[in-house]
Amino acid sequence: MADHEKHEIEPEDIEVLRRQVAEEHKMASLGRLLAGIVHEINTPIGSIFSNNQVALRSLEMLKNDLEHLTGETGAHARALVATCHSLAEVDKIACERIGNVIRGLKSFARADSDELHRVDVWEQVSGTLRLLQPEYGRRVVFENLVPPDLPRIECYPGKLNQALLNIIVNAAQAIEETGNVTISASASGDSIEIRIRDTGKGIPESVRDKIFHSGYTSKPAGQGTGLGLTLSKRIIVDLHGGELDFESSRGEGTTFRIQLPLKQKRP
Amino acid sequence: MESNGDKPIVVLVDDEEMVITSVRAYLALETDYRVEGFTDPEQAAGFITQRPYDVIVSDYLMPKMTGIQLLRQAKEAAPEASRILLTGHADKQSAIDAINDVALFQYIEKPWDNTQLLLAIQGGIERARLLRDLRDSMAELASANDSLKDVHRRLIKAFL
């Protein structure tokens, strides 16, 4: 940045900066709100999980005890136990779904995101995808192909998740009807590369050099702030010393490539 | 595991009654442990400073005192008992910072997994009882040593 020439600040630049700061504040408040909600839900859902397991185990024991009971009463009691058992099985699946959402929110909205942590990329991507599933899951197939044994990377997890979320949302929005968003990653030397590939419409050549500019959006009003990719670039390049670029071909899709160092430089 | 034949005692502390009810029901189904549940950490502190127990499982954020403050008292009163923190608090850092402070045996996040919780409690009981046995054996050894010294002293006296 030091070799940049000094220039007059244009009013539009101030407006863009103001919007960037507002967006960052919004994301930080959202993170705190989510962390609070997760905390509030953890205890009751933990209780429900536990009770469900106890209920299922008890019903199995009761079923065994009722086996020798003959006559109409026995048949009736066995039918009631079978009904309760199948309801408890449904509750178990319902609990697992809630649990998945909670885990996604938890890894996304880490309250300690202002500190450096070593994180598992597969886990961060899974958490982010779980959050997007309800909105895009019906028309977009998300695939997490990040190898689970990829070395952990040192980063600001909340910020990095925000960047991943922005890029994956963009990928999902680039798909007009149905398609795939695939996230893969590999390690080489002291850095890793994460690739987010979509089968969407591709980025027109005329706008390729603008997509990281603040305020640029190709989406209808209300759908894009025009800040998502700018913030993602700032998080990856300025905050983590990484790289963010993309390759795109019309009608075939786009691949965003994030390169991140395994370790952060100490200030 | 049961060194002196009695049932292991597990102390559960959470300001939410539902956690105690759920964990108690699970432990009642799977084990023969005696469970002492408290929603008030001050009452729990009263219990652990006066009565024997094997494991304490405490929530982190509670009114009146945090789980770490309670576990610190637990460590002072019964260092050989095992301490487990069961927390739904998203900011782990403060809890992690305190781990060494109270020599935490296990850290479990909510929503908890019953199997994982049971393994932690079983491990905690085993550890507490081994430590207690070790302490008792060392006391016996020290007493035996004292008697030997006494015999030695009397032998020397008799011959001199």
pLDDT at site B1: 39
Nearest to A261 by CA among A104, A183, A157, A155: A155
Domain count within chain A: 2
Q: Is residue A3 part of a domain?
A: no
Q: Per mean pLDDT, which range of A248-262, B51-65, B77-91 is the poorest?
A: B77-91
pTM: 0.66
Nearest to A119 by CA among A257, A233, A260, A19: A260
Residues A54 and A132 placed together within one structural domain of the fold: no
* Backbone phi and psi for residue B88, each to the nearest 5 degrees, phi listed first: -105, 5
Residues A92 and A122 placed together within one structural domain of the fold: no
Residues A153 and A201 placed together within one structural domain of the fold: yes
**Looking at the partner chain, which of B26, B91, B93 has a beta carbon nearest the beta carbon of A54?**
B26
**Looking at the partner chain, which of A53, A99, A111 has a beta carbon nearest the beta carbon of B90?**
A111
Q: Is residue A236 part of a domain?
A: yes
> Taking 90 as the threshold, does the pLDDT of residue B12 lie above it?
yes
* ipTM of this complex prediction, to 2 decimal places: 0.74
pLDDT at site A216: 62
Residue of chain B nearest A117, judged by CA positions:
B93
Residues of chain B positioned with their CB less than 8 A from the CB of A42: 88, 109-111
CATH of the domain at A170: 3.30.565.10
The residue behind tokens 């839900």 is A41
DSSP state string for A68-128: T--HHHHHHHHHHHHHHHHHHHHHHHHHHHHHHHHHHHHHHS-TTTTS-EEE-HHHHHHHH
Which helix (H) or strand (E) covers residue B126, if one does?
Answer: helix B114-159
Residues of chain A positioned with their CB less than 8 A from the CB of B18: 43-44, 47
Residues A223 and A145 placed together within one structural domain of the fold: yes
A85 near A55, Cβ under 8 Å? no
Q: Which residues contact B122 (CB under 8 A, 6 or more apart)?
A: B1
The residue behind tokens 């079923």 is A63
CB burial string B108-144: b at 16+ within 10 A, e below: bbbbbebeebbebbbebbbbbbeebeeeeeeeeeeee
Tell me how crowded residue A243 is: count the other CB atoms within 10 A of its CB. 15
* Residue ending a domain, choose from A105, A135, A166: A105
Residues A41 and A97 placed together within one structural domain of the fold: yes
Q: Which residues of B make CB contacts under 8 Å with A?
A: 14, 16, 18-19, 21-23, 25-26, 29, 88-93, 109-114
Residues B10 and B35: their CA atoms lie apart, in Å, by 5
Residues A77 and A142 placed together within one structural domain of the fold: no
What does the radius of gyration of chain B's CA atoms come to, in whole angstroms?
20
Residues A120 and A135 placed together within one structural domain of the fold: yes
Q: Exposure of A178 by Cβ count < 10 A (0-12 exposed, 13-18 middle, 19+ buried)?
A: exposed
- At B40, list the tokens: 């008030």
Residues B144 and B95: their CA atoms lie apart, in Å, by 43
Nearest to B53 by CA among B25, B23, B84, B11: B11
Q: Domain containing A63: what range?
A: 36-105
* Residue ending a domain, choose from A61, A81, A105: A105
Distance from CA of B106 to the nearest CA of A (A): 17
Which helix (H) or strand (E) covers residue B36, if one does?
Answer: strand B34-38
Residues A118 and A242 placed together within one structural domain of the fold: yes
Give the pLDDT of chain A (267 residues) as one tens digit per residue: 444 555 667 777 787 778 777 777 777 777 778 777 888 888 899 999 999 999 999 999 999 999 988 899 999 999 999 999 999 999 998 888 888 778 777 766 655 556 788 889 998 898 888 888 888 988 999 999 999 999 999 998 888 888 898 899 989 988 988 999 999 999 999 999 999 999 998 988 888 877 777 656 666 655 555 567 888 888 899 989 999 999 998 889 999 999 999 998 876
User: Cβ of A86 under 8 Å from any chain B Cβ?
Assistant: no
Return the half-sphere exposure (C-beta side, CA atoms, 13 A cut-off) of residue A95: 21
- Residue B107 vs residue A22, higher pLDDT: B107
Q: Is residue A27 part of a domain?
A: no
Mutate to test the interface with A, among B14, B93, B110, B121 (most CBs of A within 10 A): B110
- At A189, list the tokens: 């030397």
Are residues A51 and B25, on separate chains, in Cβ contact within 8 Å?
yes
Residues A207 and A123 placed together within one structural domain of the fold: yes
Mean pLDDT over B2-7 rounds to 61
Are residues B113 and A49, on separate chains, in Cβ contact within 8 Å?
yes
Q: How far is CA A203 from CA A177, B87, B95, in A?
A: 16, 46, 46
- At A57, list the tokens: 């185990």
DSSP state string for A157-206: HHHHHHHHHHHHHHHHHT-SSSEEEEEEEEEETTEEEEEEEE-S----GG
pLDDT at site B22: 95
Q: Is residue A20 part of a domain?
A: no
Residues A157 and A76 placed together within one structural domain of the fold: no
Mutate to test the interface with B, among A54, A61, A116 (most CBs of B within 10 A): A54
The SS3 of residue A240 is: coil
Q: Is residue A25 part of a domain?
A: no
Q: Which residues contact A160 (CB under 8 A, 6 or more apart)?
A: A119, A124, A235, A236, A240, A260
Residues B81 and A253: their CA atoms lie apart, in Å, by 60
DSSP state string for A128-144: HHHHHHHHHTTTEEEEE
Q: ∠ CA(B91), CA(B94), CA(B97), 5° rounding?
A: 135
- Domains in chain B (CATH in brackets) are 9-159 (3.40.50.2300)
Distance from CA of B95 to the nearest CA of A (A): 12
Residue of chain B nearest A113, judged by CA positions:
B91
Mutate to test the interface with A, among B18, B22, B30 (most CBs of A within 10 A): B22
Q: Is residue A97 part of a domain?
A: yes
Highest mean pLDDT among A182-186, B93-97, B103-107: A182-186
* Residue ending a domain, choose from A84, A105, A126: A105
Q: Is residue A197 part of a domain?
A: yes
Q: Is residue A87 part of a domain?
A: yes
Residues A69 and A116 placed together within one structural domain of the fold: no
Residues A187 and A61 placed together within one structural domain of the fold: no
The SS3 of residue B115 is: helix
